[in-house]
């Protein structure tokens, strides 16, 4: 049976690193929106074009999920490296996967705020092009306020 893996966590928690490892272990197809977004639009989070960032990112995720549903329907496992900050988002994907005959596993990547901020600082200092390197501490603290940790994840990875 195909499995939908949901990577859950805030930026810097290790979702993409773990998703790559999981893809290698399981053969699942990995979808990481930041990679596609950067390729298509550059890092527009705070810079020029930032007013379009959310719309663009949502479209990238919509396209990834469209392809992901097709793969699940064909029996291919899929990893969505979207963050899934709320239970409502996770439940929506569970229902859609179940309708396709696929199971769902939640992978919660967890790190303390100080570690998340340290990692984001390292990204910015290293000028990594594959991630949004200009996320601020204020952004992180705001997002942490809306983040809902999953209650019973399949895997809970703490860093």
| Whole-number Å distance between alpha carbons of 133 and 121 | 8
Range from 53-57, 76-80, 120-124, 155-159 carrying the lowest mean pLDDT? 120-124
pLDDT in tens, 64-87: 999 999 999 999 999 999 999 999
Sign for the pseudo-dihedral over CA of 46, 48, 54, 58? negative
What pLDDT, on the 0 to 100 scale, is given for residue 45? 78
5 has a pLDDT exceeding 60 = yes
DSSP the chain: --EEEEEE--TTSSHHHHHHHHHHHH-PEEE-HHHHHHHHH-S-SSSTTGGGHHHHHHHHHHHHHHHHHHHHHTT--EEEEEE--SHHHHHHHHHHHHHTT-EEEEEEEE--HHHHHHHHHHHHHHT-TTS-TT--HHHHHHHHHH----SS-SEEEE-
pLDDT tens string 16-57: 999 999 999 999 999 999 999 989 988 787 766 678 988 999
The pLDDT of residue 38: 86
SS in 3 state form for 55-70? Answer: HHHHHHHHHHHHHHHH
Average pLDDT along the chain: 91
pLDDT at 62 over 90: yes
Whole-number Å distance between alpha carbons of 93 and 118: 31
pLDDT for residue 133: 65
Which CATH number covers residue 38? 3.40.50.300
The total domain count for the chain is 1
Q: What is the pLDDT of residue 77?
A: 98
> Could you report how far apart the first and last alpha carbons of the chain are, in Å?
30
Q: Could you tell me the residue range of the domain that residue 95 belongs to?
A: 3-158
pLDDT digits (tens, 9 = 90+) for 88-103: 999 999 999 999 999 9
Mean pLDDT for the stretch of residues 108-133: 81
User: Can you tell me the distance from the alpha carbon of 119 to that of 15, in angstroms, rounded to the nearest whole number?
Assistant: 13
pTM as predicted: 0.91
pLDDT score of 123: 77
């Amino acid at each position: 049976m195909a499995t939908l893996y949901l990577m859950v966590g805030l930026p810097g928690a290790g979702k993409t690193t773990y998703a790559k490892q999981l893809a290698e272990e399981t053969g699942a197809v990995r979808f990481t929106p930041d990679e596609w977004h950067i390729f298509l639009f550059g890092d527009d989070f705070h810079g020029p074009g930032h007013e379009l960032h959310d719309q663009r990112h949502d479209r990238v995720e919509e396209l990834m999920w469209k392809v992901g549903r097709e793969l699940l329907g064909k029996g291919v496992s899929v990893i969505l490296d979207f963050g899934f900050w709320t239970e409502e988002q996770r439940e929506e994907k569970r229902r859609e996967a179940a309708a396709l005959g696929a199971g769902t596993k939640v992978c919660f990547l967890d790190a303390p705020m100080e570690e998340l901020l340290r990692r984001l600082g390292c990204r910015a200092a290293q000028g990594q092009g594959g991630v949004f390197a200009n996320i601020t501490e204020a952004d992180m603290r705001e997002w942490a306020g809306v983040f809902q940790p999953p209650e019973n994840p399949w895997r809970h990875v703490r860093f």
